[in-house]
Amino acid sequence: MSKKVLIVDDDPDVRLFNATVVEESGFTPIEAANGEEGLKIVKKDRPDLVILDVLMPKQSGIRLYRELKTDKALIGIPVIMLSGVAKRTFLRSQKALTEFGDKPVPEPENYLEKPVEPEELAREIKKLLG
């Protein structure tokens, strides 16, 4: 069975775009519309890779990323951040949360700013999933 890629994004058009790239790359896409839904799926299906947006309803990608990288059972799942929010902001926000007492988290495996060309996304997915 092919490896599973979880796409977490509130925009259905972006999910469709990402899912197409994942499928064309030979992997199986799974979709979630926000961070809260994403976390449930991660725990249930344990994907091999997560493509994660930042600004979403219910729970942001910043909080979900933190959950993924501080939970011993999930820490090994690589994450590609794919967002309109700048990488600098993402890193600063994680730093701010650490300063408020949360555990420090590593940088994501990759950070892509939207919009991204399909070839670039496919390349990064293949790089992480072999």
Partner 1 sequence: MEIKKLLFVTRFDNLRFDALQSLMDLKKAALNHVVFLNVIERDKVAMRRGKGYEKSTEIRLREKANIRFIDWAETLFEEGMEVGVYIVVGSFAGQVIQAAEKESVDLIVLSPEKKGRLEQLYSGSDITEIVHRSATPVLVYKYLAQKGPLAENPFEKPLLATNWSAASQRAIDYLKSLKTVIREVDVVHVASEKDLKETSAMGIQKTRKESRQKLDALCDELEDFGITAKPHVYIGGTVAEIDKAARECQSSMIIAGSPHKRLWKDRWGTSISKGLAEQSIFPILLIPPQEG
Binding site for partner 1 (CB under 8 A): 10-11, 13, 54-60, 62-63, 84-86, 88-90, 92-93, 96-97, 99-100, 113-115
Complex with partner 1: residue 45 or 113, whichever CB lies closer: 113
Closest CB 5 distance from partner 1, rounded Å:
20
Q: Which is nearer to partner 1, 6 or 54 (CB)?
A: 54
Alpha-carbon dihedral angle through residues 119, 125, 126, 128, given to the nearest 10 degrees? 150
**Helix 118-129 to helix 12-24 angle, to the nearest 10 degrees?**
60
| 114 contacts 56 by C-beta, under 8 angstroms | no
* Closer residue to partner 1 (CB): 30 or 62: 62
Residues 108 and 50: beta-carbon distance below 8 Å: no
Please say which residue, 25 or 34, places its beta carbon nearer to partner 1.
34
Q: Compute the least distance from the CB of residue 56 to partner 1, in Å.
A: 6
Distance linking the first and last C-alpha atoms of the chain: 15
Closest distance to partner 1 from the beta carbon of 1 (Å): 32
CB of 40 to partner 1, least distance (A): 16
CA distances from 24 to 20, 69, 112, 118 (A): 6, 28, 19, 10
